[in-house]
Amino acid sequence: MTLITSNESQIDSEAARSQTEKTLDQSFLWGTRILALAVAAVLVWIAVQVAINSIPAIREFGLQFLTKSAWNPVEDTYGVLPMIYGTLLSSLIALLLAVPIGLASAIILSENFLPLSIRTTLTFLGEHPLLAERLK
């Protein structure tokens, strides 16, 4: 009786693949890397553009704009602290609701807690939100 190690089985599966499959895999890998770098470049470009376009406002109102809470166009005083606080708070509440629900549903659907028929139906509905919304 011979034991096949994972390294030997991996070598066997690599040898069984055609050159076309290997080329397609390498092309996909490089395409994915290029697109990931493109996303990072776009994000850097957006950050640079926001920084450049905010220079006039920073010169006029200073950085206190971020820490003031008054918004009074008559007196020409502006502050965005309440807006920043509201955005952070609403994002935190959304995360506190969504993360436990998402993790619980992922665990329940992947760990065979439910019978197969119910699990299949829930998985189908979870993957098709428009259909799930119509069934409400």
29 compared with 57, residue with greater pLDDT: 29
pLDDT value at position 72?
85
What is the pTM for the complete model shown? 0.52
**Same domain for 136 and 71?**
yes
**Same domain for 73 and 133?**
yes
- Tell me how far apart the alpha carbons of residues 87 and 16 are, in angstroms, rounded to a whole number: 54
**Same domain for 57 and 69?**
no
CA angle 83, 54, 85 (to 5 degrees): 15
Residue 75 belongs to domain spanning: 62-136
33-42, 48-57, 61-70 — which is least confidently predicted?
Answer: 61-70
Q: Per the domain annotation, does 18 fall within a domain? A: yes
**Same domain for 71 and 15?**
no
User: Rounded mean pLDDT of 70-96?
Assistant: 91
CA angle 93, 99, 100 (to 5 degrees): 105
Q: Domain tally for the chain? A: 2
**Same domain for 101 and 125?**
yes
Ramachandran region, residue 4 (left: φ > 0; alpha: ψ -120 to 50; beta: rest): beta
**Same domain for 114 and 70?**
yes
**Same domain for 70 and 135?**
yes
pLDDT value at position 1?
45
**Confidence check: pLDDT of 85 > 70:** yes
Q: Per the domain annotation, does 2 fall within a domain? A: no
- Tell me how far apart the alpha carbons of residues 85 and 68 are, in angstroms, rounded to a whole number: 12
- Tell me how far apart the alpha carbons of residues 111 and 39 are, in angstroms, rounded to a whole number: 34
Q: Which residue has the tokens 């006039």?
A: 56
**Confidence check: pLDDT of 23 > 90:** yes
Q: Per the domain annotation, does 40 fall within a domain? A: yes
Q: Could you tell me which residues come within 8 angstroms of residue 67 by beta carbon, excluding any fewer than 6 positions away?
A: 79, 81
15-24, 45-54, 93-102 — which is least confidently predicted?
Answer: 15-24
- Tell me how far apart the alpha carbons of residues 121 and 8 are, in angstroms, rounded to a whole number: 39
